[in-house]
Structure 1
């Protein structure tokens, strides 16, 4: 197999370098799409290439090759070492298990959130709960089960009437734009390839920026939105893990990722960065940054396609006995 099979395994190393510039400099809607798509494509491409390397190693074993009616590959020229194929097989098994486990848990969490939302008595999609602790979040719905915006009385007491409208515009943006789907998709890519965790973490920030910009467009005053976010953050600085699983809170949330990242779930998002972005002019499309970002998953797709074709040719070359 050609060395192209290794490119999708190396490109995720660029994730920490690209996540922050895209999240900070691009329009948040565009940034969310770019980061989510990159996480999904890079995760899928790297997993596919691990599978290709594993298959290339399996056909080196005579008795396994006989099951597929191939001549053993050991007699043919191929740069893929058996040890590399074995390592790829182990990594593939771990990536598949982690991704399937995450997907199962995430679907269960979102379904539970949708059922909770459907059971809550609401007026115009708003649920007010008696709780002195300031909190607000959006519970996603499913087809036939509308989502809900849940706000505590403590949060309503903290904000004034204009800030109530900002809060509602922000949370409804999460529901109408299906931000939970972007978060889940990016986290699925990161579950398959841990190197992509910076992309998934960046998506949890860009969706909040996206909702902030929607609130600013709805109210026509970016400074008021910045003030509402900062004011809510100060009032909620002692909040501890009140946002349910599957919900998107006004003050942000950290990704539900395997391992040690799970411990940071209760930590508020990067509110000062959101406030600073709202006090600055809106971000543009950034054509050069967009093109550079798109080039990375595109290269991974092309390399994965080339590697797949190469394996096909390799199996054809050893022939069916």
Structure 2
């Protein structure tokens, strides 16, 4: 446990540096999978590292060591980690468990509420148009999901742009984008160092839906114009907060509280649509696989070292 146990924590510090380049230079579908997988694996690996470091501190408490028939003196002699490190790891582990549990509870509640709300909306074709002057459009996950569009948003766009809007929202449902966002945010809750990865996933799922809409309509420029017009319409409208937390919309926010002034991803999405589509390249996947392999190996190696420590303390 001298080095291996700290590698997942080090990777958690380094991985966010590549989140934005990966989100912008990699094909959106692949980027979403890679970022989500990285967030989950590093969150689990770093949490296990904290748990193993905290366990070495528990072994030094005579009462707890006696329960497992271990020698506290032997554990202190053989374990290279300082007691202060073990105590800090224990505090961080408790905070991570609380944050992850809270995030899981909130996501389960929001998804259950979305499924129930979607089930109560009669929509043979999955489209629900609400009479509201506020420009809103979002996909509500469910069994099946619903695409919710306000009359205000329809009036803000030309009829030819409605096709782009609906294709974008339906892509969110077809791709189960809410699941990717929820998993990435769950990983970030357990390990706050991974928050840039979760933010990148909220961007890449929008890019994924943008590309799906552009492919479905066959017009990338019209798709870019629709994204820009929808963002401007929402920016000019008064703030609203009735969109469910489980919803994903064209503006890329889980709620309507985020406006264009703070939605830097919108101009980047428009620019990406005005450029040729990105191609699938193996390099990002290989680099991500290498990082995750190191995280898994180091966690397994640290677990093996802890096992040896327990054996020596027991002997």
Bin of the TM-score, shorter chain as denominator length: over 0.9
Deviations 1:36-84 (A, max 9, x none): 0000000010000000001111111212100111122345322111111
Aligned counterpart for 1:274 among listed residues 264, 269, 285: 269
The secondary structure found in structure 2 opposite 1:223 is helix
Q: Is the CA contact 1:25–1:286 (under 8 Å) kept in the aligned structure 2? A: no
Change (3 A) 1:84 1:185: same
Aligned residue for 2:87?
86
Structure 1, unaligned runs of 5 or more: 257-263
Deviations 1:116-143 (A, max 9, x none): 11111224000000111111000001xx
Aligned residue for 2:296?
301
- Greater than 4 Å deviation, 4+ residue runs: none
The secondary structure found in structure 1 opposite 2:231 is helix
TM-score after normalising by structure 2: 0.94
Number of residue equivalences:
309
Report which stretch shifted further, 275-284 or 295-304: 295-304
Aligned residue for 2:182?
184
TM-score after normalising by structure 1: 0.92
Structure 2, unaligned runs of 5 or more: none
**How do 1:53-132 residues align onto structure 2 when only pairs under 5 Å count?**
53-72=53-72, 73-74=74-75, 76-132=77-133
- Across the aligned residues of Structure 1 and Structure 2, the Cα RMSD in angstroms comes to 1.6
Aligned residue for 2:248?
248
| Distance in structure 2 (CA, Å) of the matches to 1:294 and 1:267 | 36
Deviation at 1:162, TM superposition (A): 2.1
Q: Is the CA contact 2:140–2:148 (under 8 Å) kept in the aligned structure 1? A: yes
Aligned residue for 1:46?
46
| Distance in structure 2 (CA, Å) of the matches to 1:123 and 1:227 | 29
Change (3 A) 1:75 1:104: closer
| Distance in structure 2 (CA, Å) of the matches to 1:241 and 1:24 | 29
Deviation at 1:291, TM superposition (A): 2.0
Q: Is the CA contact 1:241–1:267 (under 8 Å) kept in the aligned structure 2? A: no
Deviation at 1:233, TM superposition (A): 1.2
Q: Is the CA contact 1:5–1:49 (under 8 Å) kept in the aligned structure 2? A: yes
**How do 1:195-214 residues align onto structure 2 when only pairs under 5 Å count?**
195-214=193-212
| Distance in structure 2 (CA, Å) of the matches to 1:68 and 1:238 | 64
Change (3 A) 1:265 1:50: farther
| Distance in structure 2 (CA, Å) of the matches to 1:42 and 1:13 | 10
Aligned counterpart for 2:173 among listed residues 175, 179, 187: 175
Deviation at 1:271, TM superposition (A): 0.9
| Distance in structure 1 (CA, Å) of the matches to 2:88 and 2:234 | 47
Change (3 A) 1:241 1:308: farther
| Distance in structure 2 (CA, Å) of the matches to 1:186 and 1:295 | 19
Q: Is the CA contact 1:18–1:293 (under 8 Å) kept in the aligned structure 2? A: no
Deviation at 1:9, TM superposition (A): 1.0
Q: Is the CA contact 2:75–2:312 (under 8 Å) kept in the aligned structure 1? A: no
